[in-house]
Amino acid sequence: MKKTIVLFTALFCYSISVFAQDSTDTESKWSPSISLNFEPVPVYSISGTDTSFVNSMAVGPVFSIRNKNGIGISYSPKFVTGGPTPGIFMHAVTAGVEQYDKQKFDYTFEYSHYFFTKNSSVPYSPLTNEIYTSLTYKKTWLRPSFSAGIGFGKDTENAVNNSAYDIGVSAGVSHPFSWEKNKTSYTISPSVALDAGTNQYFSLLSITKYVGRSKKFTQIVKNSKAASALSRGRRNGSGSSTSSSSSTTTSTTSTSTKEKFNLNNIELGLESSVELGSFTIRPTGNLYLPVGSYAGTGIIGYWQVVLEYNF
């Protein structure tokens, strides 16, 4: 585990230093942007003695500043609109480099830290850090792409071993269709990919949206206090779960099992964008078709809408 984290960290730091070497005075100018993200997030749904998960909408304003090389930092408070306690459930801070204007490659190398607010609407996640990287080759009609990420943190609900991590990778192809009309640029990019990972925990990682953005996450993750409490007909709160039909309190903790890296999904994606001057709208939709017995049952859907303005 430590060797894996060191490898990802070294790759992250090396990549930033390489892409920063060629910057000029013009390229080093910093440009701010602001965006508003809409996407699903699972929340507890309580009806009498029955507890389940449903998808609610998460809203996240993002404040970013980057230079012409794509190096920068962003901050985003995340709000959940449903569940027992709507409000802020996470603050996300991300630093790194992302570049989408080069001729041969699109790439990202980023580190994120997630400050969870212990909002009782959203399931508990021990993964508070993420190192994420992606690379797309643009010189062929079908553009091959690869992305990988590792999330890690401390599992405060597990008294046996509080070290937690998850690894995810994705590889696929895409092709963008672009055109302009009335000074507005349009792009539609369908894609197909294979997703694999360990999926130990519920998380909100970038690399495993089929886990943290779906109410079906309990079918996929291996260690989940929320899933354990749900299977007993109880709601997971601050470390104990109480049945509505009795006054007894039962402690529920996640079990620690050996991580297994498995092929999980075939991912069908459709990204689009509409650009008018400094304003951009980016709707995204994904369908995840399970592969094997480690990815649960049924198709998982994910969507996101981003409204962005670049100053």
Structure letter (DSSP) for residue 125:
-
The helix or strand, by DSSP H or E, that contains position 185, with its residue range, turns out to be strand 184-197
Give CA 259 to chain center in angstroms.
20
Q: What is the token pair recorded at 228?
A: 């354990």
What was the pLDDT predicted at 292? 73
What was the pLDDT predicted at 129? 98
Residue 273 phi, psi (nearest 5): -150, 150
Closest by CA position to 215, among listed 293, 291, 299: 299
Residue 274 near residue 184, CB atoms below 8 Å:
yes
Closest by CA position to 74, among listed 21, 33, 129, 38: 33
Phi/psi region, residue 70 (left: phi>0; alpha: psi -120 to 50; beta: rest), is left
Q: What is the token pair recorded at 51?
A: 């507890």
Q: How far apart are CA 114 and CA 218, in angstroms?
A: 21
Task: Give the Cβ contact number of residue 124 at 10 Å.
Answer: 21
Domain count of the chain?
1
Predicted confidence pLDDT, tens digits, the chain (311 residues) = 555 555 555 555 544 454 444 444 445 589 999 999 999 999 998 887 788 899 999 999 999 999 988 999 999 999 999 999 999 999 999 999 999 888 899 999 999 999 999 999 999 999 999 999 999 999 999 999 999 999 999 988 766 668 899 999 999 999 999 999 999 999 999 999 999 999 999 999 999 999 999 998 988 888 876 666 665 554 444 333 333 333 333 333 444 455 688 999 999 999 999 999 999 999 999 999 998 777 777 899 999 999 999 99
Q: How far apart are CA 54 and CA 295, in angstroms?
A: 19
CATH number for the domain spanning 153: value is 2.40.160.40
What was the pLDDT predicted at 2? 53
What was the pLDDT predicted at 232? 54
- pTM given for the model: 0.81
Structure letter (DSSP) for residue 176:
-
Q: How far apart are CA 79 and CA 141, in angstroms?
A: 39
Which structural domain, as residue segments, surrounds residue 262?
2-310
Structure letter (DSSP) for residue 106:
E
Helices (H), the chain: 2-20, 209-212, 225-231
